[in-house]
Amino acid sequence: MNLLPSPSGEARYESPDSVRAVFLAGDAGARLLAGPPASAGAEGLSSHLGRLGAPSALAGADLVEVVAASGLKGRGGAGFPVAQKLNTVRVSAGKPLVVVNCSESEPASAKDRTLVRLRPHLVLDGAAVAARAVGASQAVLYLHRGDLRSARALDAAVAERKQAAIADPDFSVAWAPPRYVAGESSAIVRFLEGGEAKPRFGTRAAICGVNCAPTAIHNVETLAHLALVDRMGPDEFRRCGTPGFSGSVLVTLAGAVQHPGLVAELVAPVPASELLGVAGISSPPQALLVGGYGGAWIDGRSAWDSHIWPDALLQGGFSFGCGLVGVFPNGACGVRETSGILSYLASESAGQCGPCRYGLDHLANSLARLAKGEAGRRELKALERKAASIVGRGACSHPDGAVSLLRHCLEVFEADIRSHSQRRPCRAAHSDSVFPLPSQIEQTWR
């Protein structure tokens, strides 16, 4: 499987071995992660301004035009053009609002938290740029309750900026429940209006968001890129990345790696082998988990020489999602691992529509029974039919993500599936999960 075939069928984006494309915090050549090393903690305002200089004076339509020329796409998973969202907010009726989505809900992902904790001023700069673009005077920092390290970094940075009289919007903090779907855009709007942090149908926040005001909701990485576009301009920004996806991207390395949660910055598509080398992986693993818990499994040998990049994965039929690249080791059981993740996703659903209330638990339980050798081919066929009946019917994409993970499990771990469907128990029944499965922290949504 070649994740990014060219029209001729040959791999694209081959670059000389001497061209480095993977960077860690503090490395020369990085963009978002440029600056002090991770061991130095949050970068102060003087260091930040000394490296990058002052923001531009552009605002409104002029600023949106620059963002459009940069080709910047959102880094929250959907890849929506940032300029289009900003312009919609700018021209919609009502007093606009900016929301900085710091609620990184994927248990194994750490890219947004890393940016907030190491480069808080870059994130706040991006929020200020978004506010200038849409004409907003207020920005909400939306965090999960309990994320005290991020809160402290942001609080200290906001205080520094006030003392330096930086022209910022009025920042406030909203503490959301630490739940998987609480970071979905319509759930954010609902929560900021005083409701439960649950997704809802038919909302376009850019037109009618918080209290019907046009609301620009962007995740942390998107805003950090926006700050760079504002300073360097579109041409320089586009020197990284590909024609279809400009700028750099952050990835979190997770699973069976030396340091789970290590965040790397890619400035161009790189083979999985090169990226995983940073994590101490020297040979193809059994599989990769890409895009998050609602993403996909990819066969490790097939992915080893294929490129990791948003549009590369998309052309291969996968989603880059939150930028998670997880290593699943040889010898472990992908069926058991997937059933655990599905159980977690089921427990974290909003529970307000049929696919989540009646579908996800069924999928998780059926797969768990298969892993234990308690289900046969008939149950496997029923599982596949149930999965097909769920797709596209939820209030948000949460059930679709769970089904995507299940379907790729059935393909990539076919040998294990075949063995289990013959009622053979899982050979790894008593091993620990490779990917974190947090316990349910809160029972309430408020």
Mean pLDDT computed over every residue of the chain: 89
Give yes or no for residue 56 having a pLDDT over 90. yes
Check residue 421 and give its pLDDT.
84
Check residue 79 and give its pLDDT.
82
DSSP string, 7-24: TTSSB-----TTS--EE-
Give yes or no for residue 168 having a pLDDT over 60. yes
27-55 average pLDDT score:
97
What's the rounded Cα separation, in Å, for the pair 218 and 227?
Answer: 12
Give yes or no for residue 189 having a pLDDT over 80. yes
The pLDDT tens digits of the residues spanning 359-407 come to 888 899 999 888 888 888 888 888 888 888 888 777 678 888 999 999 9
Give yes or no for residue 35 having a pLDDT over 70. yes
Q: Which CATH number fits domain 334-421: 1.10.760.10, 1.10.730.10, 2.40.50.150, 1.20.1440.230?
A: 1.20.1440.230
Lowest-pLDDT range, 322-336, 360-374, 424-438?
A: 424-438
CA angle at residue 163 from 162 to 167, to 5 degrees? 40
Sign of the C-alpha dihedral computed for residues 344, 349, 355 and 357 taken in this order: positive
Q: How many CA atoms lie within 13 A of 233 on its CB side?
A: 2
Q: 236: Cβ–Cβ under 8 A, 6 or more apart, which residues?
A: none
Check residue 202 and give its pLDDT.
72
Check residue 439 and give its pLDDT.
62
Between 192 and 8, the more confident residue is 192
Check residue 69 and give its pLDDT.
98
Cβ neighbour number for residue 272 with a 10 Å cutoff:
24
pLDDT-based confidence at 428, cuts 50/70/90? low
pLDDT-based confidence at 129, cuts 50/70/90? very high
Check residue 393 and give its pLDDT.
76
Is residue 21 a contact partner of residue 271, using CB atoms and an 8 Å limit? no
Check residue 441 and give its pLDDT.
39
The pLDDT tens digits of the residues spanning 2-19 come to 343 332 233 333 333 446
Check residue 10 and give its pLDDT.
30
Q: Nearest CA to 383 among 369, 393, 396, 394?
A: 369
Lowest-pLDDT range, 171-185, 243-257, 279-293, 384-398?
A: 384-398
Give yes or no for residue 156 having a pLDDT over 70. yes
Between 31 and 444, the more confident residue is 31
Give yes or no for residue 315 having a pLDDT over 80. yes
The pLDDT tens digits of the residues spanning 204-257 come to 999 999 999 999 999 999 999 999 999 999 999 999 999 999 999 999 999 999
pLDDT-based confidence at 161, cuts 50/70/90? very high
Check residue 444 and give its pLDDT.
34
What's the rounded Cα separation, in Å, for the pair 207 and 94?
Answer: 9
What's the rounded Cα separation, in Å, for the pair 354 and 3?
Answer: 34
DSSP string, 202-226: T--TTTS-GGGS-EEEEEHHHHHHH
Give yes or no for residue 164 having a pLDDT over 80. yes
CA 183 to each of CA 106, 123, 192, 234, 418: distance values in angstroms, whole numbers, following the listed order: 10, 17, 12, 29, 37
Check residue 30 and give its pLDDT.
96
Give yes or no for residue 117 having a pLDDT over 90. yes
Cβ neighbour number for residue 343 with a 10 Å cutoff:
18
Check residue 171 and give its pLDDT.
98
Lowest-pLDDT range, 108-117, 372-381, 407-416?
A: 372-381
Question: What percentage of the chain reaches a pLDDT higher than 70?
Answer: 92
Beta-strand relationship, 262-266 and 307-308:
unpaired
The domain ranges of the chain are 22-241, 334-421
178-207 average pLDDT score:
91
The pLDDT tens digits of the residues spanning 71-104 come to 999 998 778 999 999 999 999 999 999 999 999 9
Between 89 and 105, the more confident residue is 89
421-442 average pLDDT score:
71
Is residue 374 a contact partner of residue 423, using CB atoms and an 8 Å limit? yes
- Tokens of residue 13, six digits: 């984006």
Confirm whether pTM is higher than 0.85: yes
Q: Give the class (CATH, top level) of 22-241.
A: alpha beta
